[in-house]
Structure 1
Amino acid sequence: MRFPQALALTGPLMMLSLPAMAHPGHEHGSGLMAGLMHPLTGVDHLLAMVAVGLWAGFVMPRRVLVAPLTFMAAMGGGALLGWAGIALPLVEPGIVLSVIVFGLLTLTGGQQQSVMLTRASLLCIGLFAVLHGHAHATEASGHVGPYLAGFMLSTAVLHGLGILMALTVARGQAGRWVQHVSGAVIAAGGAFLMLGAA
């Protein structure tokens, strides 16, 4: 099976998992394993982080680490706000909205887009990442150092998967098709989560 065909089948399979809550079975936890698992067990976090990697690979392939590093730095800042007890409004709806926005950025982005649009997209990625970090922090209890290391590592892996997928297909004829399909699937997944939360 060719990669684009496999990806086309992956989208519908991902959609089947979305009726589950965005954070199934999440209880307050601490330690490296709790931090590692948090981004992987929340569909909203997982889709958003893969989308950032996809966007980076399709839109900024020569500076592919800019978007993931922006996300991770802002996410760390959001986590610090959460651990400091600083409340942010609409964190969960904002996280779900980030999935839609990141999907749309992936769907519509391109290497020829304006510098202004790329900077606005990076700003958007950073602002939403603050909400992701805040949500991660509120799930932690006890020693937060290993937990922080865990969710940062999982985030980096998810970004890397998105980048790898984008760079693998970007040079082929199917590159734009895969970009559009993956962006649309992620945005649709976010919309589905939004409807489920309503």
Structure 2
Amino acid sequence: MIPATMKRSTLSAILLLAAAMPAYAHVGAGTVWSFTAGFSHPLSGLDHMTAMIAVGLWAALKGDKATWAWPLAFVSVMLAGGVLGMLHVPMPFVEPAILASVVALGLLVALAVDLPVSAGVAVIGLFALFHGYAHGAEVPENVGGLGYMAGFAVATALLHAVGIAAGLGLGWRFRGLARAAGAACAAIGAGLAFGVV
């Protein structure tokens, strides 16, 4: 059982983090290969933020190995996708797949879908590939981009941690709130897809 003070502290930290999100424009202006630019990229788009927090929430709802395996899978495959993007390997449907990931991950949380850990890794890895590709495609050809990739990997891991902390902080007693957050994520994805958000 998680003490009430820990739950309140976790929720307070999440709210403070959300309130303190930097007001960056989408990456593309200025230096797009620095650690800072890479770190700010996932924090500058509602699609990236909601999908990555949803991964953490879903991992917390599943528990056990999924708590670390699913976020690790996302970050690892995202980095591989980033390399593909940096190499400009053609990949169709990147933006639609990212929007679909927001809706799908939100629904997986909202419905508390209980997949085996390996199946969850496959689903998350598929979506991570597209998110990583979008990040990597923005790196100019004449730079290495390692700092940028490290930045978006760290930011992604932190967003996963926010989702995990929220899921664990709410615990079984308030599981409905985590599922409601998943429904909100799916709604945001649908809104982005139809240009409403």
TM-score interval, normalised by the smaller of the two chains: 0.7 to 0.9
| Structure 1 runs, 4 residues or longer, greater than 2 Å off | 23-26, 60-63, 118-122
Conservation of the 8 A alpha-carbon contact between 2:106 and 2:182:
yes
Q: Which residue of 1 aligns with 2:85?
A: 82
What is the distance in 2 between the residues matched to 1:123 and 1:63?
A: 12
TM-score, normalisation: structure 2: 0.81
TM-score, normalisation: structure 1: 0.81
What is the distance in 2 between the residues matched to 1:95 and 1:182?
A: 18
Q: Which residue of 2 aligns with 1:94?
A: 97
Q: Which residue of 2 aligns with 1:46?
A: 49
What is the distance in 2 between the residues matched to 1:151 and 1:59?
A: 25
Give the AA of the match of 2:71.
P
Give the AA of the match of 2:134.
A
Q: How many residues align?
A: 176
C-alpha displacement at 1:127, in angstroms? 0.4
Q: Which residue of 2 aligns with 1:154?
A: 155
Aligned to 1:64, the other structure's residue is in SS state: helix
What is the distance in 2 between the residues matched to 1:60 and 1:85?
A: 37
Return closer, same or farther for 1:97/1:63 CA change in 2, 3 Å cut-off.
closer
Superposition pairs for residues 16-165 of structure 1, below 5 Å?
24-27=25-28, 29-109=32-112, 113=114, 115=116, 118-141=117-140, 142-165=143-166
Identity of aligned residues (%): 36
- Give per-residue Cα distances to partners, 1:54-108, cap 9 Å, x unaligned: 0001112454101000101110111111122201001011101100000011111
Conservation of the 8 A alpha-carbon contact between 2:112 and 2:179:
no
Give the AA of the match of 1:183.
G
| Cα RMSD, aligned residues only | 2.3
C-alpha displacement at 1:24, in angstroms? 4.4
Question: Unpaired segments of 5 or more residues in structure 2?
Answer: 1-6
Conservation of the 8 A alpha-carbon contact between 2:47 and 2:189:
yes
Whether 1:180 aligns to 2:179 is: yes
Give the AA of the match of 1:162.
G
Aligned to 2:139, the other structure's residue is in SS state: coil
Give the AA of the match of 2:138.
E
Return closer, same or farther for 1:136/1:159 CA change in 2, 3 Å cut-off.
same
